[in-house]
Structures are given as structure tokens and as C-alpha cells.
Structure 1
Amino acid sequence: MGRFAALALCFAVTACASQVKAPDYTAFKAAKPRTILVLPPVNHTPDIKATSGLLSQMTLPLAEGGYYVIPVTLETETFRQNGLSVPDEIIQVPAEKLRTIYGADAVLYTTITDYGSVYHVINSNTVVTASAKLVDLKTGSVLWTGTGTASSAEKNQNSGAGGLIGVLVNAAINQVVDSLTDESFVEAGTAANRLLKVGPPDGLLYGPRSVKYDTD
């Protein structure tokens, strides 16, 4: 019986360890942001399409979560008219100025650390990873932080079927497909949804346009 008790305790400890710890939402609940300005992500990868590829897919999960998001086209054109087009420069704009120009309650700063395909002899994998923080434009307080990643390997887990020849053939096919399509853009969509997920245990709180608002 002692062995079974120890085994049960081990499973219980493992289950507890695997649970995601909820962040402190105190500042978030006090700020109650309604409108969010999503700044162009800072790109720390060699792919020049990373910023636009991710930015174009970040509005939807926030809007579906109950927030009004400043239109990306309006934001981009406004920055351009003020001589700003590089994300590294845009993130230096003072919070008070962003609030005055756009009327937003909070701003989202994002950094891309992975964007693109890595080719090997027997496989190829496209990975997109980004981190973000939501900042209150009135107080400068960080309301929430998160990370999101997506990989084409998730869809190719069965690529080993058929032995070594099967693996090589599958890798060749994947490389051809990736060269003809923008697989990074596809993975960016998944990464954006994971990064900006709304709801427990560690996502953004629901916005005022959601039926779940104030239920967290």
C-alpha cells in the first residue's frame, strides 16, 4: 500500500506542478482598458516580413476578446506622417503622446524572437515566437505580459512514417511547399492567437464588449 500511496502522491505533485499560475491582475482590473493600441512588433529576426506578418493578425483575437483596437492602417499612416516607420523608433514615443493622438487606454508592445523556417537534412520546421506586454497609457503600469509560439512541427509529428526514405521524401515536400507558400504567415496567425488569448488561466482579461466582461 505504501508504494501505491507514494505513486499517487507523485502524480498529484506532478499535476500541481504542471498547472499554470495565474498572474496578478490587480492593476489590470483597476485600469479597465477599453481601447488598445497595438504598436508594430519589434523584429529580432532576419526575416523582414516578420513585423507585418504578425501585426496583421494581432487585431482579431483582441477584438474577439471584447476590446476596441485602433485600426492598424490608421495607426501606420499616422506614424508615417510623423516621420516614424521603424518599430524600434515607434516604441520610443512617450505614452502621453500616444494617448493624446489615438485616445487609447492601453498600448501593446511586442517583440518577435523567431520567425521563419529552419532546414535540416531530414526535416524543416517553421517557427514563430513573440512576447508582449500591455501598458496603461495613463499610469505607465504594466497590466499584463505574455508569450506565444507556433511551429509547423506540430502538424508534422507523423512525418517519420515510412522509415528514413519516407522522412527524406516528406522533408523534400515540406521544403518545396514552404518555398511556394508563406508558411511563416500561417504560423504567425497561430502564434498571435496564443499570445493574445483572452481568459483563464493566464490570458488577457475579457474586454467591455465581451459577454464575459468582469466575470474573471
Structure 2
Amino acid sequence: MRFFLGKTWILLVCLNACPCYAGQLPHTVAILPFVNHTPRQEAGDIIRRCFYNQFSSLNYVDMELSTIDQLLKQGHLYSTLMEHGEAVSPKTLRRVLGTDAIIYGEVTDYGRLFAVLYSHIRVGLRIRFVNVLTGEVVSTTKETVTLREGGAGIEVLGIATTMVRTVMNARETVFLEATDKLCRNVAKKLPNPARKSAMSISAPSIRFVLHNGAARLLEPDMDLRVVVVGDAGQNAWAELPSCGVRISLKEKSQGIYAGSYTVKKGDVCSEGRLKGYIQDMNKHTGVVLDSLGPISMATPKNLPSLISKTMRISDAGGPYRIRKVTVIGPGGHLIIGPGTEIRVDKGGALVVQGSLEVCGSAHEPVSFLPNGEVSWKGLLFVKDSGPSRLAGCRIEGAKTGIKARKCRLSVSKSRIRNNEWGIVADRAEVVLQHNYFAENRYSGIAIRSGTGSIEQNDIRYNGQYGILIHNTRPLIKHNNILGNKQAEICVKSIFPKIPLDVSRNWWEFSGPEGPKLKGPLSYLPASKQPFIP
């Protein structure tokens, strides 16, 4: 890998004529933050890193991603690029980054797609490679890769199963395999400058840098385990520069290096980026960023068991932990600032009798996550609790992400995934806008009686239903509803017994059969284009 500027930012758009680009190819390239159109908060970062690693095999000079992000934040452009991508002009980015070219990217898919007999993992990307000196488009590409879940992912990686499972589970391995294939396919389509003589010596190759620290908080006495896969018979190590951690790695089998670091009391690391190194006997060194996500180390602060008045918490004071149950009492009001992380122990819950106000955003979400590989109960809004507002939440690993009973609740710009149930509303007044409900074991949204509106959400890949309705007629429009296993929408009972209007939604279907629906529903006219939540 060569370092100077970063790597081009990716926006997948298919151009088979990439190698035939007639203009002079740029020299320095910056890979911008990817716009993430999927329910998975981490998808944009993971695919961007993977593409960065694959792009490094081409004969461009690339800028490190951390340098790109720092310059963009200093220029107040980072958030805009994360949300709107090409809204920032190449001319402006040339002034801020100083590179010859940029790559815009959009992650279009990163999730499970249910089929009749089994499920698939699907990942997708669009990129746009622009020469900022001339304004010409060097390449545009759109690519999607689908792999069968439970298939040959681990074997395709060429890594012993037992070694992989020390750092990641089988499903994560299939996602990694699909992402690797996706980014390799895209990189192969890009035009490649001729190699200069000064660049004729190749460093050792690294295919993967894996670890067990993604999407979790590493506390004192926990182990950060690392596996690097690359050329055999070399020296290898890993570094977490922001934490001052260096991990020696030993070759356990041909080309597979492993090691670990035990977190110490006082270690503090927020969103650390792991790098893997392989060095040959001539000191030529290959360097690759991990593709699994940032690493955090800290000793969390415990939230009190009872909050009886107004309490404010923020990212600066965290992370926080709920050991058993934290109750916001009838007179209590909890306000949570952007970027705050709350880890919940097994069986724990946040029970709301008063009111909860979550003030997150798309790029600085407030995260409610399990403390390790456990299940917690979720956010529970009880009867007659005060009006609550959740904006910019990330809720994962719960029995029920959100459960609301006889109360008023609005949820917006949130990602609620990988729970048993996404949100369950029982005789409540709920407003759901601009959210992702995905990969929940049963239903993304379940509403019984009460009132509600479901608008401009992305509801996909849930194990049973996208939306489940009992005895109510909520407003359902301008949503993307697709890939849910048993039905996109299921109406169990309804009164009066006339079809519920679910037109003006996007279903991603073609042909006369229409979307998978159960119950009295009217889906036409359907939207011809997906919505952006």
C-alpha cells in the first residue's frame, strides 16, 4: 500500500469501458465517505475500508482515510458528504483535499434477503470516479454481490473455521466474503496507470485484517483478538495507533497470523482504527486497514436504577451501562445527546414512566446495544408515560427494540435492526418517519389498535413480516418495503373489513403477482422508485 493522500471515495456505477478512458489518468486520489442507504449503521464504513484496501493495489497515490476525514471535518463538509454525497462539488473537494481525483460512493445494499428455502447475503455499491483537475468522469460503476447464507463463506476465505470463530461468527464471515468480492470486482473495472520503475518493488500482500472488537465495548480484562491473512513466512503485527497499542502476531498456519491484547484498567479508545502489517526480510511492509469496524475500549459509567428528575447525558461523559433495569420515573426526564453509547447487560431494560428525549443524528446516533453476545429487553414505554421523542437511535440485540403501551411516541431517523421484534405498539399513538427496520427476527413494525403513521421508512429483510397490523388502520405511505420473509405487510384483523390502503409504497417487485401481502390490502398504485429515508 502506498501512502500520501487517501483512497478514492467510491460511488458504484457501472462503466464497462473503464479501461478505455481516453484522458490522462490522475495521480493522487481521495476516497470520500460513502453515503449509506442501508439499515446497517456500519455498512458505509466497512465497505469504504474494504474498497480502500483493494484500490491500493492499483498504481495511484492514495490518501489515508483518517487524513481525508480530518480535512473534511475541518472544512465542515464531512456530514454533508455522509448524507448527500455529490452535493459537494469536485472543485470544492479539490480545494480542501488537494488531490487530482475523488471517488464518490453509495452503499445500496448490505443485508439478508429471504428466499423460499434459504436466505442470501446481498451487498451493493455505486461509485463515481472524478478527475477534479479536468472535471471529467474517469469511471462510474454499479455492482451487487449475493451469496447464499450458510454456504461456503468460511472455506472461500481460505481460513480455518476455528481460527475465524475466535474473532467473528459465521454470518459475519459471509458478509466479509461478499464485501471482499464486491470491492475486488469494482477495483478490477477501474483504469490502472502504468507502474513506474520507482514503484516496482511490491510489499507483502494482505487480504484480511480481522478482529473481535467491532460493534462492542471492550472493558478491562477483556481480550482484543486479531487475525491477519496474507503472504506466508513473514513477520506480522497489528497496531491501534489512537490507543498506543501494538499486538505481536504469530503465524498459526500458512499465511494466517494471530495474536491478542488484554485491555487494561485506564485504557480509553473511542472509534480506534486497527491496522495490520506484514513485513518481509527486506523490510518491505504491507499495510491494510481492518474491514470490520472501529474499536472502543473504556470502563463504562453505570446509569442509576431510578431517574426521578431531569437528567442529561452526552457522548463526552460516556459510554454508559445499564446493569439490570433503569427506570425513568413518573417525574423523570432523560435527555441523551448525539453520539452517546449505552450498553445493556443481559436481561436489562430502560423502562420509561416519565419521558425520554433522544437527540441523535444519522452520523452521530445514540446507540442502545447489548453488552456482549447477550439479549436485553429493550426500551419499554409503559401506560400513561409522558410524550417521548427518539431521533437518531441505533437499537440492536433486544427482545423488543421499542415497546410502547398506551402512550405517545415519535421515532425518526433511527436504525432498529437485529432484534427479535423491531417496534411493538399496543393501543399507542406512534409516528414513525425516516427509519430503518431491518433483520429483526419476527416483525419490523407491529401495531395493535391505537393510531399511527408510517412514512418514508425502509422496512426490509425481517424474518416474518415487515409490518404486522391488528385492529387498526395506520397511515402507510412512501416507504420501501421489501425482502421480508413471510409477507411485506400482514393484517391479522381489521374493522371495517374493507382493504387497508397501502398504495404509494415501493415494493421492489416485477411481474403481475405483486408484493407478498396477507389480509385485506390495496397496494396499487405502487411507487415506481424507492424512497430515500
TM-based fold match above 0.5: yes
Written as runs of structure 1 = structure 2, the 5 A alignment for 1:79-158 is 79-83=72-76, 84-86=78-80, 87-89=82-84, 91-120=86-115, 122-153=117-148, 156=151
Aligned AA for 1:204? L
Q: Secondary structure at the match of 2:143?
A: strand
Alpha-carbon separation, structure 1, partners of 2:26 and 2:150:
36
Structure-2 residue corresponding to 1:38: 31
Structure-1 residue corresponding to 2:258: none
Which of 53, 58, 61 pairs up with 1:65?
A: 58
Aligned AA for 1:78? L
For residues 195 and 22 of structure 1, do their structure 2 counterparts lie closer, same or farther at Cα, with a shift above 3 Å needed? closer
Alpha-carbon separation, structure 2, partners of 1:148 and 1:24:
14
Where in structure 2 are there 5+ consecutive unaligned residues? 1-14, 153-168, 198-533
Alpha-carbon separation, structure 2, partners of 1:125 and 1:195:
21
Alpha-carbon separation, structure 1, partners of 2:107 and 2:33:
10
Aligned: 1:206 with 2:192 = yes
Write 1 or 2 for the structure with the bigger share of strand.
2
Q: Secondary structure at the match of 1:78?
A: helix
Alpha-carbon separation, structure 1, partners of 2:65 and 2:24:
23
Q: Secondary structure at the match of 1:53?
A: helix
Which of 50, 53, 61 pairs up with 2:46?
A: 53
CA contact (8 A) 1:36 1:105 kept: yes
Task: Report the Cα offset of residue 142 of structure 1.
Answer: 1.2
CA contact (8 A) 1:149 1:194 kept: no
User: Structure 1 residue runs of 4+, over 6 Å off?
Assistant: none
Task: Report the Cα offset of residue 91 of structure 1.
Answer: 3.3
How many aligned positions are there? 166
Alpha-carbon separation, structure 1, partners of 2:121 and 2:56:
27
Structure-2 residue corresponding to 1:77: 70
Aligned AA for 2:79? S
Q: Secondary structure at the match of 2:91?
A: helix
Which of 185, 190, 200 pairs up with 1:194?
A: 185
Alpha-carbon separation, structure 1, partners of 2:19 and 2:181:
25
Aligned AA for 1:156? G
TM-score when normalising by structure 2: 0.28
Structure-1 residue corresponding to 2:396: none
Alpha-carbon separation, structure 1, partners of 2:114 and 2:57:
35
Work out which of the two has the higher radius of gyration on C-alpha atoms and give 1 or 2: 2
Structure-2 residue corresponding to 1:18: none
Q: Which moved more, 1:115-124 or 1:142-151?
A: 115-124
Q: Secondary structure at the match of 2:23?
A: helix
RMSD: 2.9
Deviations 1:43-84 (A, max 9, x none): 122221110010011122222121112111111122223332
Task: Report the Cα offset of residue 85 of structure 1.
Answer: 3.0
Deviations 1:100-153 (A, max 9, x none): 222211111112211112245631211111121211102222121122222222
Alpha-carbon separation, structure 1, partners of 2:54 and 2:38:
23
For residues 25 and 71 of structure 1, do their structure 2 counterparts lie closer, same or farther at Cα, with a shift above 3 Å needed? same
Write 1 or 2 for the structure with the bigger share of helix.
1
CA contact (8 A) 1:117 1:184 kept: no
Task: Report the Cα offset of residue 96 of structure 1.
Answer: 1.9
Alpha-carbon separation, structure 2, partners of 1:155 and 1:145:
32
Aligned AA for 1:85? S
Alpha-carbon separation, structure 2, partners of 1:154 and 1:204:
29
Deviations 1:156-194 (A, max 9, x none): 38xxxxxxxxxxxxxxxxxx832xx36434321221111
CA contact (8 A) 1:116 1:126 kept: yes
Where in structure 1 are there 5+ consecutive unaligned residues? 1-20, 158-175, 198-202, 212-216
TM-score when normalising by structure 1: 0.65
CA contact (8 A) 2:119 2:149 kept: no
Alpha-carbon separation, structure 2, partners of 1:109 and 1:209:
24
CA contact (8 A) 2:120 2:149 kept: no
Aligned AA for 1:75? I
For residues 130 and 89 of structure 1, do their structure 2 counterparts lie closer, same or farther at Cα, with a shift above 3 Å needed? closer
Deviations 1:19-50 (A, max 9, x none): xx952766x33232111111112112222111
Q: Which moved more, 1:75-84 or 1:46-55?
A: 75-84
Q: Secondary structure at the match of 1:56?
A: helix
Task: Report the Cα offset of residue 90 of structure 1.
Answer: 5.0
Q: Which moved more, 1:49-58 or 1:101-110?
A: 101-110
Task: Report the Cα offset of residue 208 of structure 1.
Answer: 4.3
Aligned AA for 2:32? L
CA contact (8 A) 2:34 2:85 kept: no
